[in-house]
Structure 1
Amino acid sequence: MSTDPRVALQSLVSALEEHLVALSNRRSDQDPAVDSAYVAIADAFDAYEEALYDNFDEVTPLTVFADDEDEDDEEFDDLDEDDDGSLVDEDDYDDLDDAGEADSAADEDEADDDDERDEEEGSR
């Protein structure tokens, strides 16, 4: 027997409200009430998503990420050389003009080489 989506939705809304209360009463960064409310949201959302699928063969456009996925991001921390939160530096775009086209002598040389190859193939 599947859960009524309306009941699951109300459970999700209640979990969100409890999370807000836990946040507003937080005593520290590691407050167990906040952690518990966080998990309750994830569980309630999963139940709601399952109820939607069981009853309507539909899902929401949302995804709950597991805590361990945050640890995977640490492998990319070394790539952020200046700790600005971006893996792409402005320096990566220095060789582009305003139209987003390459503006370097190396690219022009490569284009000239392509033209020469085309001419050679055309004369054969």
Structure 2
Amino acid sequence: MSIDPRIALQSLMAALEEHLTAASRRRGDKDPLVESAYLAVADAFEVYEEVLYDAYGEVTPLEIYEDDDEDFDGDFEDDGEDASENASGLQPGK
């Protein structure tokens, strides 16, 4: 991929802003705008991670939360970590 990492970062930041806007205007549990914005964040993050690695051999300490359960309600179990770390769907890398 030949995208400048700064451009990819700007796209990720824009996706996060859109997600925040959609979340603040949520209309129910399965709001399609929130779900769409969530997926856009995940896609933008994957692009950023890939171009960051390609350009500098570096990665972030985050990973995309992979949920096999289609009925995920957005709640994370308390496993002793700060809830704000898990609330976004992005989790610290392991």
User: Please, what TM-score do these two structures have when normalized by structure 1?
Assistant: 0.54
Partner of 1:37 in structure 2?
A: 37
Partner of 1:67 in structure 2?
A: 67
User: Please, what TM-score do these two structures have when normalized by structure 2?
Assistant: 0.71
Residue segments in structure 1 that go unaligned for 5+ positions in a row: 72-84, 88-124
More helix by share: 1
Give me the whole-angstrom Cα distance separating, in 2, the residues matched to 1:26 and 1:62: 25
Dislocated runs of 4+, deviation >3 Å: none
1:54 aligns with 2:54: yes
CA offsets 1:51-104 (integer angstroms, 9 cap, x no match): 100000110010002221xx3xxxxxxxxxxxxx679xxxxxxxxxxxxxxxxx
Q: 1:29 to 1:86 in 2, by over 3 A?
A: closer
Residue segments in structure 2 that go unaligned for 5+ positions in a row: 70-76, 80-94
Q: Which has the larger radius of gyration?
A: 1
Q: What is the RMSD computed on CA atoms of the aligned residues?
A: 1.7
More strand by share: 2
- Identity within the alignment, %: 62
Partner of 1:97 in structure 2?
A: none
Residue correspondences, number: 72
What secondary structure does 1:63 align onto?
strand
Q: 1:86 to 1:28 in 2, by over 3 A?
A: closer
Alignment of 1:1-16 (within 5 A): 1-16=1-16
Partner of 1:24 in structure 2?
A: 24
Partner of 2:92 in structure 1?
A: none
